[in-house]
């Protein structure tokens, strides 16, 4: 969980217009996006295949899939809220650092 939060923070920092994106080539940005997209899509496909090919009854599999998808939704919502907080703090820090004295 800590690794996922740190990854989200690092990803948001890479997308920052003011700090890191000035020196990061477009090829690197596209590569990062492709890797993250591949991880998300691969995880989703692997999860679905693992559940559908499991030796459980159909009803049990559907209940398990519904429960797991709800857990994933709630976890994603939590990460989104945390990301918004980090983004807000980042904007405040940038504003303070770039304030003219």
Whether the pLDDT of residue 32 is over 60: the answer is: yes
Tell me the pLDDT tens digit for each residue of 73-86.
888 888 888 888 88
Q: What is the pLDDT of residue 9?
A: 57
93 or 8: which leads in pLDDT: 93
Range of the domain at 18: 2-98
The tokens for 33 are 């996006």
The tens digit of pLDDT for each residue in 34-68 reads: 887 888 888 888 877 877 777 777 788 788 878 88
What does the mean pLDDT of the chain come to? 74
Contact between residue 13 and residue 87 where contact means Cβ atoms under 8 Å apart: no
pLDDT at 20: 43
Q: Which residue has the tokens 């800590």?
A: 2
Size of the chain, expressed as the number of residues it contains:
101
Note the pTM of the prediction, 2 decimals. 0.40
Largest CA distance in the chain: 68
Total number of domains constituting the chain: 1
């Amino acid at each position: 969980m800590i690794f996922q939060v740190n990854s989200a923070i690092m990803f948001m920092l890479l997308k920052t217009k003011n700090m890191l994106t000035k020196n990061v080539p477009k090829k690197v940005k596209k590569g990062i996006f492709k890797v993250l997209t591949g991880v998300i899509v691969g995880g989703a496909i692997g999860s679905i295949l693992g559940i559908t090919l499991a030796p459980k009854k159909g009803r049990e599999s559907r209940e398990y899939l519904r429960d797991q998808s709800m857990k994933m939704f709630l976890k994603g919502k939590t990460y989104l809220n945390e990301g918004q907080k980090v983004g807000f703090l980042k904007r405040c820090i940038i504003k303070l650092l770039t304030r003219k004295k």
